[in-house]
A and B are shown apart, each in its own frame.
Chain A
Amino acid sequence: MKPEEIQKIAETEHDLRMSYKYRINVCCSSGCLPFGAQKLLKAFEDTIKELGLERVCKVARTGCVGTCSVAPVVLIDPGNHLYQNVKPEDAKKIVQEHIINGQVLEEYLYKNEAYFSKQYRLILRNAGKIDPLRIEDYIAVGGYSALAKALTQMTPEQIIYEISLSGLRGRGGAGFSTGQKWNFVAKSTAKPKYIVANLDEGDPGVFANRTLAEADPHAIIEGMTIAAYAVGAEKGFIYIRAEYPLAIQTLKKAIEQAKSYGLLGNNILGSTLNFDIELRLGAGAFVAGEETAILSSIEGLRATPRPRPPYPAVSGLWGKPTLINNVETLANVPLIILNGGTWFSKLGTPKCTGTKCFSLTGKVKNPGLIEVPMGITLKEIVYEIGGGVPDGKKFKAVLVGGPSGGCLPESMLSLPIDYESLTQAGAIMGSGGIVVIDDESCIVDTARFFIDFCMDESCGKCIPCRAGLPKVREILDRIMLGEGKVEDLKVLEELCYLIKDASLCGLGQTAPNPVLTTLNYFKQEYLAHIVEKSCPAKKCILKKVEVVKE
């Protein structure tokens, strides 16, 4: 296939798309499927057929719209009308009123303006708008034109220059400059080179990468292929956890389609680029998402991290230079190529450009997957997008950065979201998990919950993390039982610093964050448990007297 042919398909598909007066997008992603999305899709298709509206209205299956809390949802274009909690029985009525009579059905409408108004959907621009299982849908909205541009009009150096100019930083958590990373790999002379797209997403309650793969798989493939051209790689792996069956299916199909269109394989778009992508399924361990652990896993070994240096860019898969990027990072790439690095660098903040997807969960009115410009404040996320704490409860804390994130209090809500500010406050960007905690939750219990998670997920390779986290948990357990001593807090803190500073990989290095931040911002709650033997949230049952300790 030639670039012109892609252009051709884009035009035909676009025209086809435009030929419909209406488009009913039925979300069939993981959040809506359990609520009968398949049946709903069928109901709409049947209704349209029954009423002979096939030429007027297109019914399409799409990826997540981002409002999974009101699943299943249907998005009708033009006008971006989002219907919530739609049942198959409602299909007739909606088609009758909306498609035939042109009347929007207010009672089904998702009315939460604020939820979307503060968002900036760049990565998720196609989510809910295209059929992820049709490559033509992606091409119709401009897909693969960035690849065509890169291959025909740009040199690898120019691509890396644009990526560097954009200020794009890794969305996998650490925020390393993507341009710099690409440059390292490009400069390595060893052959072959590999690319790994990280879709392990092992954090509990985080689902941004899965959603992306389910909604817009070709964006990932296109980003990877451009990266391959830029760094000189021949082979790519998408490392995805086996617990994501729909995302796996979707990606598999997408790779097949890309291959059949000559967008993967040899001489891509008539250029000299040969590049292939293979899926690798992980067995679902949090630590398997760590970049060096992925390498081991793909090589067929235990997924345990390796010390760096050597960095994967120099010695990665089978000792060869390997580029590892998060899938969200990669999905940014086509946009940067199309619109230029300068355009991208103006989004977000100067040091932290672009947007970021967050999985907003916990005690908020509107949980869901959101995408916001960098630099937005936590307050805007929790109160405006999230709608605040439901059921008249009070806000207590927000955990930013997944299980090894930091627990921040109300006073920190004006914090802008960027790598540096978060790190300074004791939290991390992580994979973009935000959990809102209300005043019914005990802070010690919350910290213990996350320590428990990291303890279970520790690979056991290094001692601070493997042997330290169980001790941290033991002390928290004691405090929650009312057996804690004031001295315990010091031991706890010292242990946390050891684990943070001396552990091998990011898991251990960040695991103490929930404890350290709560010790910093909520010390009085710990002391209440220890000194007054009471739990402010009335969650922990504290033993007043312990038999052995008199």
Chain B
Amino acid sequence: MIVLAKVKVATVWLSGCSGCHMSFLDQDEKLIELSKRIELVYSPIADVKEFPENVDITFIEGAVANEEQFHLLKLIRERTKLLIALGDCAVTGNVVTLRNCFQDSVKEVLEKAYIETVTYNPQYPVQVPKLLEKAYSINEVVKVDFYIPGCPPSADLINYVITEFLEGRVPSIEEKFKYG
């Protein structure tokens, strides 16, 4: 992956707490170094509406919990060369998938979030994407090329992985990561 042009990188925020993105940003001054080599083509922190074509590396934070995310993820996979699951929610499903332990989880989740714990005008939402019956980790929906577990993964680990890939090497994260 030695490219002269800037490497096109996307970061995606599915069902996660945004902690992984925070960690990504925690690379701090190293981001400046990175920005010389990458171009951020899609991200929650960049105002791009549609996921672009021909992305080199996509980081995905969060699990897949609704239909919109499901379709988006399929599209991302088609348009991405190297797909990286970033953080426990993307890698294992983490807390997002805990609802899978319950029967009829969609109803239970909605009830808890929009009725039971709401004091003012409790009602089911109408304009949010439909929840899937089960929540999924990324690799249950599409093929994943690399995993960075952690809740969140440390900024150093993220930086290490991305730098290695930019150098054309496959990072080895044994003993460097930790779930949770």
Digitize A538-550: 1 where CB-to-B-CB distance is under 8 Å, 0 elsewhere.
0000000000101
Instruction: Determine if B132 and A548 form an interchain contact, defined as CB atoms under 8 angstroms apart.
Output: yes
A428 to B70, CA, bound (A): 46
Counting CB contacts under 8 A, is B56 at the interface? no
Counting CB contacts under 8 A, is B74 at the interface? yes
| Residues of chain A with a CB closer than 8 A to B133's CB | 548
Distance (whole angstroms) from the CB of A344 to the closest CB of chain B? 57
A548 to B132, CA, bound (A): 7
A88 to B63, CA, bound (A): 71
A245 to B23, CA, bound (A): 67
| Residues of chain B with a CB closer than 8 A to A550's CB | 74
Distance (whole angstroms) from the CB of B37 to the closest CB of chain A? 33
Distance (whole angstroms) from the CB of B28 to the closest CB of chain A? 39
A548 to B74, CA, bound (A): 12
Least CB separation from A485: chain B residue: B143
A460 to B111, CA, bound (A): 38
Segment 125-172 of B: residues with Cβ below 8 Å from A: 132-134
Distance (whole angstroms) from the CB of B98 to the closest CB of chain A? 18
Segment 517-550 of A: residues with Cβ below 8 Å from B: 548, 550
Least CB separation from B64: chain A residue: A548
Least CB separation from A547: chain B residue: B133
A550 to B70, CA, bound (A): 9
A550 to B132, CA, bound (A): 12
Distance (whole angstroms) from the CB of A477 to the closest CB of chain B? 15
Digitize A91-103: 1 where CB-to-B-CB distance is under 8 Å, 0 elsewhere.
0000000000000
| Residues of chain A with a CB closer than 8 A to B132's CB | 548
**A-side binding surface: helix, strand, loop or mixed?**
loop
Distance (whole angstroms) from the CB of A307 to the closest CB of chain B? 29
Distance (whole angstroms) from the CB of A546 to the closest CB of chain B? 11
| Residues of chain A with a CB closer than 8 A to B74's CB | 550
A548 to B133, CA, bound (A): 8
Digitize B12-52: 1 where CB-to-A-CB distance is under 8 Å, 0 elsewhere.
00000000000000000000000000000000000000000
Distance (whole angstroms) from the CB of B70 to the closest CB of chain A? 7
Digitize B46-89: 1 where CB-to-A-CB distance is under 8 Å, 0 elsewhere.
00000000000000000000000010001000000000000000
A100 to B41, CA, bound (A): 102
Least CB separation from A487: chain B residue: B143
| Residues of chain B with a CB closer than 8 A to A548's CB | 70, 132-134
Distance (whole angstroms) from the CB of B104 to the closest CB of chain A? 16
Distance (whole angstroms) from the CB of B113 to the closest CB of chain A? 21
| Residues of chain A with a CB closer than 8 A to B134's CB | 548
A162 to B70, CA, bound (A): 71
Least CB separation from B74: chain A residue: A550
Least CB separation from B70: chain A residue: A548
Digitize A210-244: 1 where CB-to-B-CB distance is under 8 Å, 0 elsewhere.
00000000000000000000000000000000000
Distance (whole angstroms) from the CB of B163 to the closest CB of chain A? 30
Least CB separation from A549: chain B residue: B141
Distance (whole angstroms) from the CB of A1 to the closest CB of chain B? 68
Distance (whole angstroms) from the CB of B69 to the closest CB of chain A? 12
Digitize A7-41: 1 where CB-to-B-CB distance is under 8 Å, 0 elsewhere.
00000000000000000000000000000000000
A548 to B134, CA, bound (A): 9
A548 to B140, CA, bound (A): 11
Least CB separation from B67: chain A residue: A548
Distance (whole angstroms) from the CB of B71 to the closest CB of chain A? 8
A550 to B71, CA, bound (A): 9
| Residues of chain A with a CB closer than 8 A to B70's CB | 548
Distance (whole angstroms) from the CB of A547 to the closest CB of chain B? 8
Least CB separation from A550: chain B residue: B74
Least CB separation from B71: chain A residue: A550
A548 to B106, CA, bound (A): 14
A508 to B70, CA, bound (A): 38
Least CB separation from A548: chain B residue: B132
Distance (whole angstroms) from the CB of B15 to the closest CB of chain A? 15
A10 to B70, CA, bound (A): 82
Distance (whole angstroms) from the CB of A103 to the closest CB of chain B? 70
Distance (whole angstroms) from the CB of A534 to the closest CB of chain B? 25
Digitize A159-173: 1 where CB-to-B-CB distance is under 8 Å, 0 elsewhere.
000000000000000
A550 to B77, CA, bound (A): 15
A550 to B74, CA, bound (A): 10
A550 to B78, CA, bound (A): 15
Distance (whole angstroms) from the CB of B143 to the closest CB of chain A? 8
A548 to B142, CA, bound (A): 12
Distance (whole angstroms) from the CB of B132 to the closest CB of chain A? 6
Least CB separation from B133: chain A residue: A548
A548 to B64, CA, bound (A): 11
A550 to B133, CA, bound (A): 14
Least CB separation from B136: chain A residue: A548
Distance (whole angstroms) from the CB of B56 to the closest CB of chain A? 24
Distance (whole angstroms) from the CB of A530 to the closest CB of chain B? 16
Distance (whole angstroms) from the CB of B92 to the closest CB of chain A? 16
A548 to B65, CA, bound (A): 11
Segment 499-520 of A: residues with Cβ below 8 Å from B: none
A548 to B70, CA, bound (A): 8
A512 to B74, CA, bound (A): 34
Distance (whole angstroms) from the CB of A545 to the closest CB of chain B? 14
Distance (whole angstroms) from the CB of B65 to the closest CB of chain A? 12
Distance (whole angstroms) from the CB of A490 to the closest CB of chain B? 13
Distance (whole angstroms) from the CB of A507 to the closest CB of chain B? 29
Least CB separation from B132: chain A residue: A548
| Interface pairs (5), CB distance under 8 Å | A548-B70, A548-B132, A548-B133, A548-B134, A550-B74
5 closest Cβ contacts across the A-B interface? A548-B132, A548-B133, A548-B70, A550-B74, A548-B134
